[in-house]
């Protein structure tokens, strides 16, 4: 069925009485439109609420991001400070290693001197001594004449009577040990 393209006169439509059937059809049409409008309003309200929730979430996330950025900046500062401290400690370690190596050289030199001194002491001749009473005397002259006879340090050491006479006479052969 082809649509009639004749212009509609609105005044004529308004003045024309509707049949019950036409009225019921118009009423049903507009009631359906009211339901569609109510559904659309509910959808708009629901979407508006979702947008508001999303905006609130976005603002909270922005706040969280700012807080986390602040924490990151603090951590970065701490890392920079720790790196500086590590560098300082590395330099201190290097300085201490150098100092220890220098002291090791000094200790080695001193140990060598001690060893040389001990070696010289071991190589030094043993000074003969003799005990007269409670005192010890060093036999200072290895060979000497006493009462017309040639005597040695070994003779003095072997003969306590000779040693006592030399002490009594204050002979220069024996020197009291300190």
Instruction: For residue range 49-102, list pLDDT tens digits in order.
Output: 888 898 888 988 998 999 999 999 999 999 999 999 999 999 999 999 999 999
Does 8 fall in a domain? Answer: no
Average pLDDT over residues 12-29: 75
Does 9 fall in a domain? Answer: no
Average pLDDT over residues 124-143: 88
Lowest model confidence (mean pLDDT) among 34-43, 134-143, 144-153: 34-43
Whether residue 51 is found in the same domain as residue 110: yes
Whether residue 36 is found in the same domain as residue 102: yes
Domain boundary (83, 100, 124) is at: 124
**141 burial level (CB within 10 Å; 0-12, 13-18, 19+):** middle
Domain boundary (80, 101, 124) is at: 124
Q: How many CB atoms lie within 10 A of CB 164?
A: 14
| Residue 167 and residue 174 in contact, taking contact as beta carbons nearer than 8 Å | yes
Work out how many domains the chain is built from and give that number.
2
Whether residue 63 is found in the same domain as residue 137: no
Cβ-based neighbours of 135, under 8 Å, separated by 6 or more: 176, 177
Average pLDDT over residues 35-52: 81
Q: Could you tell me the pLDDT band of residue 48, with boundaries at 50, 70 and 90?
A: confident
d(CA 63, CA 75): 18
Task: Decide if pLDDT at 2 tops 60.
Answer: no
Alpha helices in 16-159 (DSSP H): 20-123, 153-158
pTM: 0.37
Q: What is the mean pLDDT of the chain?
A: 85
Whether residue 119 is found in the same domain as residue 142: no
Does 3 fall in a domain? Answer: no
Whether residue 115 is found in the same domain as residue 145: no
Q: Could you tell me the pLDDT band of residue 3, with boundaries at 50, 70 and 90?
A: low
Whether residue 93 is found in the same domain as residue 144: no
Does 36 fall in a domain? Answer: yes
Whether residue 50 is found in the same domain as residue 77: yes
Whether residue 96 is found in the same domain as residue 79: yes
Could you tell me the residue range of the domain that residue 129 belongs to?
Answer: 125-176
- The dihedral region occupied by 115, where left means phi > 0, alpha psi between -120 and 50, and beta the remainder, is alpha
Q: Could you tell me the pLDDT band of residue 126, with boundaries at 50, 70 and 90?
A: confident
pLDDT at 1: 46
């Amino acid at each position: 069925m082809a649509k009639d393209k004749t212009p509609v006169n609105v005044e004529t439509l308004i003045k024309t009485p509707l049949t019950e059937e036409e009225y019921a059809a118009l009423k049903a049409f507009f009631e359906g439109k009211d339901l569609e409008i109510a559904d659309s309003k509910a959808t708009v309200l629901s979407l508006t609420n979702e947008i508001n929730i999303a905006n609130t979430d976005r603002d909270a996330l922005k706040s969280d991001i700012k807080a986390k950025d602040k924490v990151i900046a603090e951590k970065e500062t701490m890392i920079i400070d720790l790196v500086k401290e590590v560098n300082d400690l590395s330099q201190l370690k290097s300085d201490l290693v150098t100092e220890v190596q220098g002291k090791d050289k000094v200790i080695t030199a001193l140990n060598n001197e001690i060893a040389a001194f001990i070696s010289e002491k071991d190589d030094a001749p043993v000074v003969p001594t003799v005990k007269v009473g409670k005192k010890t005397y060093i036999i200072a002259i290895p060979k000497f004449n006493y009462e017309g006879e040639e005597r040695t340090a070994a003779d003095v050491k072997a003969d306590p009577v000779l040693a006592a006479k030399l002490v009594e006479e204050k002979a220069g052969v024996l020197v009291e040990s300190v």
